[in-house]
């Protein structure tokens, strides 16, 4: 199985500041023939189901504010939140879909 490792496990950032979460995969997620990285990001708030933020590593899902940014390629990826807002408090997960079983990172808890 592909192992997804996120860092840090938790992160406290002031309102209005920038937060970056890293995600590293145990093998490449880049499908070179189509030049796409099989990596998604989700936001999971307490009492709610997870919400898709990004797919193909950097394609923003519908309705996601543009202060969220996904980047990276191969084995190293990042989720950056600019101008952090109170409603961004959540656990963030990366997920690879290069190879089944589709695996998630352990999650990063974002706090203010």
- d(CA 62, CA 98) in angstroms, rounded, equals 22
The candidate with the shortest Cα–Cα distance to 36, out of 19, 17, 58, 15, is 58
Chosen residue from 24, 36, 51, 60 binding another protein by CB under 8 A? 51
Instruction: Compose the 64-103 pattern: x for residues touching another protein by CB under 8 A, - for all others.
Output: -----------------------------x-x-x--xxxx
- Min dist. Cβ of residue 48 to another protein (A): 8
Q: Does 49 bind another protein (CB under 8 A)?
A: yes
Nearer of residues 13 and 36 to another protein, judged by Cβ: 36
List the structure tokens of 10: 């938790």
Tell me the chain's radius of gyration from C-alpha atoms: 13
CA angle 17, 49, 92 (to 5 degrees): 35
- Min dist. Cβ of residue 16 to another protein (A): 28
């Amino acid at each position: 199985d592909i192992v997804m490792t996120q860092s840090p496990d938790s992160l406290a950032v002031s309102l209005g500041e920038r937060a970056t979460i890293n995600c590293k995969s145990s093998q490449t997620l880049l499908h070179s023939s189509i030049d796409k990285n099989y990596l998604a990001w989700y936001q999971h708030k307490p009492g709610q189901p997870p919400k898709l933020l990004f797919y193909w590593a950097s394609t923003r899902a519908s309705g996601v504010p543009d202060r969220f940014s996904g980047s990276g390629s191969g084995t190293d990826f990042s989720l950056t939140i600019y101008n952090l807002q109170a409603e961004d408090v959540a656990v963030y997960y990366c997920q690879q879909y290069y190879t089944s079983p589709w695996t998630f990172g352990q999650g990063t808890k974002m706090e203010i």
